Amino acid sequence: MRLDGVSYRYGRRGPWVLREVDVELPEGGTVVVLGRNGAGKSTLLQLAAGVLRPSGGVVRERPSPVGWVPERFPADQPFTVVGYLTAMARVHGTVERNAIEAWIDRLGLAPYRGTRLGELSKGTAQKVGLAQALIPGPGLLVLDEPWEGLDAAARELVPEIVAEVVAAGGSVLVSDHRGETGRLPGAVTWTVADGTVTVGEAGGAGETAIIEIAVPAGDAEATVAALRADGHDVVGVRTTAGVRA
Ligand SMILES: Nc1ncnc2c1ncn2[C@@H]1O[C@H](COP(=O)(O)OP(=O)(O)OP(=O)(O)O)[C@@H](O)[C@H]1O
């Protein structure tokens, strides 16, 4: 898939979020999209997924089907979990009962089959968001901050799922401001800043600098959050008393 001179702004007079972006996502490739809060990561993902249409330029050779997992799963819909997953599978033209059931099991959704989406916790709703994207066997899987809101067990599943989609020949595009990038071996990075996208190798050997900083222990959480919000990969936190996270 290629983005050819893709530009985007919200509304006719809004500021340009992206300007003439040229990037290529190879078949079977994984791309991690990095950047500060508000840099345009979600916008880029939505253009790639076909959720937004470019204001200028064109997206070519988008694989199908597209599995799109938004940052916040829109849970205000009058469906039960199983009803929603079945309806979404129909939208993709297939109702593979086995695929629906397999993802319900794997993501731990079985206890919530008959629960209405609006009654789910945020983390469980995010899993339903993941399931609907995976059921059709996506040729392009687009995950907006997939680690956000998921419980620890489901977070562990994300790299596994990405590897499986890639092994089946699919392409994966993931945005990440939590610094989980290292969990996706072989991924390329697209860093969004000032309307442009810079392509790099994620964690390429010898290319990563690790900077140690010291802050008062009480500021650690806020500092980690600020660094991640700026697109940095926080690899560890320790106190003078020992390892914290
Ligand atoms: N629906 C919208 N209408 C108008 N402006 C928007 C809309 N969605 C996003 N923007 C603006 O476009 C810019 C890019 O937003 P985007 O959500 O793509 O950034 P992001 O890098 O994903 O940020 P975050 O990490 O906070 O999710 C921001 O300035 C944002 O305020």
CA distances from 25 to 8, 59, 228 (A): 19, 11, 24
**Peptide bond just before 65 cis, omega within 30 deg:** yes
pLDDT score recorded for residue 114: 96
User: Is the model's pLDDT at 26 over the cut of 90?
Assistant: no
pLDDT score recorded for residue 39: 93
Phi, psi of 46 (to 5 degrees): -70, -30
CA–centroid distance, residue 30 to ligand 1 (Å): 23
CA distances from 14 to 9, 10, 195, 238 (A): 6, 5, 13, 43
Q: pLDDT confidence of 127, banded at 50, 70, 90?
A: very high
Q: pLDDT confidence of 204, banded at 50, 70, 90?
A: very low
Q: pLDDT confidence of 102, banded at 50, 70, 90?
A: very high
- Residues with a CB atom less than 6 Å from ligand 1: 10, 17, 35, 37-43, 177
CA distances from 42 to 150, 173, 183, 190, 240 (A): 18, 11, 20, 12, 38
The string of pLDDT tens digits covering residues 69-92 is 988 887 788 899 999 999 988 887
Ligand 1 atom at shortest distance from the alpha carbon of 175: 22
Q: Please choose, from the candidates 136, 110, 141, the residue with its C-alpha nearest in 3D space to the C-alpha of residue 32.
A: 141
**Can you spell out the DSSP letters for 119-149?**
GS-HHHHHHHHHHHHHTT--SEEEEESTTTT
Nearest alpha carbon, ligand 1 atom 6 = 10
Residues 6 or more apart whose Cβ sits within 8 Å of residue 198: 190, 191
Ligand 1 atom at shortest distance from the alpha carbon of 44: 18
Q: Is the ipTM of this complex over 0.90?
A: yes
Ligand 1 atom at shortest distance from the alpha carbon of 71: 27
Domains of the chain, CATH where assigned:
2-210 (3.40.50.300), 211-245 (no CATH)
* Ligand 1 pocket test, candidate residues 17, 51, 174, 197, most atoms within 8 A of CB: 17
User: Is the model's pLDDT at 5 over the cut of 90?
Assistant: yes
